[in-house]
């Protein structure tokens, strides 16, 4: 299964991606997680991305596209992959399509998690993230439910940056929904409800396009 997950920040992409990747036995490739890991390790890539990330803007396409193309040459993508957070604009979507077409491994589906703005803001401002494994948690949690690691609030989950991320989504990322609908790849589900309920919804919807 070669799958892209798309939806506004706070739709639950990271959470659903982890479950869906496990369900289909494919690697979960999150560009946000890769950037954050590079930032933590102070690599040149991390330092290059930091300013953009902290202010809720997109890292330049040249940097992001090369990083993703490199990741998609690793052996573990032989049976597919789940891309979370990429593509984020139509240039990235075109680059991905051309890259996969050349390898004769086109996408099977693009899953859109649809959700209201009011819910997004409530979710993001109370979101915490594990310092160790990047798993999401709520502000009420004391430690990471997945690995017991310490939790923190991402710089870009602070209220003033959330508004910027939402406008970046509307202006730059929302057009890819149209792009993938035209390609006949789009599968849209509601991202409102319990985590397990949304995972079931996703698997049912994807089974219609991918058996
Ligand atoms: P995320 O964890 O997906 O919300 O990503 C966090 C931040 O990483 C974004 O706000 C961007 O600054 C950067 N980022 C992640 N994915 C991309 C992408 N595909 N293109 C450009 N920047 C990205």
Show pLDDT as tens, one digit a residue, over the chain (211 residues): 999 999 999 899 999 999 999 999 999 999 999 999 999 999 999 999 999 999 889 999 999 999 999 999 999 999 999 999 999 999 999 999 999 999 999 999 999 999 988 888 888 888 999 999 999 999 999 999 999 999 999 888 888 888 888 999 999 999 999 999 999 999 999 999 999 999 999 999 999 887 6
User: How far, in Å, from the CA of 211 to the mean position of ligand 1?
Assistant: 31
67 neighbors 45 (Cβ within 8 angstroms): yes
106 neighbors 72 (Cβ within 8 angstroms): no
Look up the CATH number of domain 2-210: 3.40.50.300
Predicted model pTM:
0.89
| Atom 11 of ligand 1, nearest CA residue | 58
Give the CB-side neighbour count of residue 150, counting CA atoms within 13 A: 2
177 neighbors 112 (Cβ within 8 angstroms): yes
Active site residue 127: yes
Instruction: List the end-to-end C-alpha distance of the chain, in Å, as a whole number.
Output: 10
User: How far, in Å, from the CA of 184 to the mean position of ligand 1?
Assistant: 25
Distance from C-alpha of 69 to C-alpha of 117, rounded to nearest angstrom: 32
Active site residue 154: yes
Q: Which of 2, 36, 88, 128 is catalytic?
A: 88
Closest CA to 128 of 98, 158, 99: 158
Mutate to test the pocket of ligand 1, among 15, 54, 59, 67 (most ligand atoms within 8 A of CB): 59
């Amino acid at each position: 299964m070669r799958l892209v997950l798309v939806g506004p920040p706070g739709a639950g992409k990271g959470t659903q991606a982890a479950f869906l990747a496990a369900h289909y036995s494919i690697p979960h490739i999150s560009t946000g997680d890769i950037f954050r890991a590079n930032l933590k390790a102070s690599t040149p890539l991390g330092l290059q991305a930091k300013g953009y990330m902290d202010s809720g803007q997109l890292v330049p396409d040249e940097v992001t596209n090369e990083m993703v193309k490199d990741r998609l040459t690793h052996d573990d993508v032989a049976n597919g992959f789940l891309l979370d957070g990429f593509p984020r604009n139509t240039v990235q979507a075109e680059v991905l399509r051309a890259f996969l077409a050349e390898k004769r491994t086109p996408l099977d589906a693009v899953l859109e998690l649809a959700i209201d703005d009011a819910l997004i803001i409530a979710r993001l401002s109370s979101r915490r993230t594990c310092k160790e494994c990047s798993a999401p948690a709520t502000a009420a949690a004391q430690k990471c439910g997945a690995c017991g690691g310490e939790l923190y609030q991402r710089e870009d989950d602070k209220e003033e940056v959330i508004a910027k991320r939402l406008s970046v989504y509307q202006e730059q990322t929302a057009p890819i929904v149209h792009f993938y609908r035209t390609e006949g790849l789009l599968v849209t589900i509601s991202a409102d409800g319990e985590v397990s309920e949304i995972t079931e919804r996703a698997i049912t919807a994807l089974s219609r396009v991918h058996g």
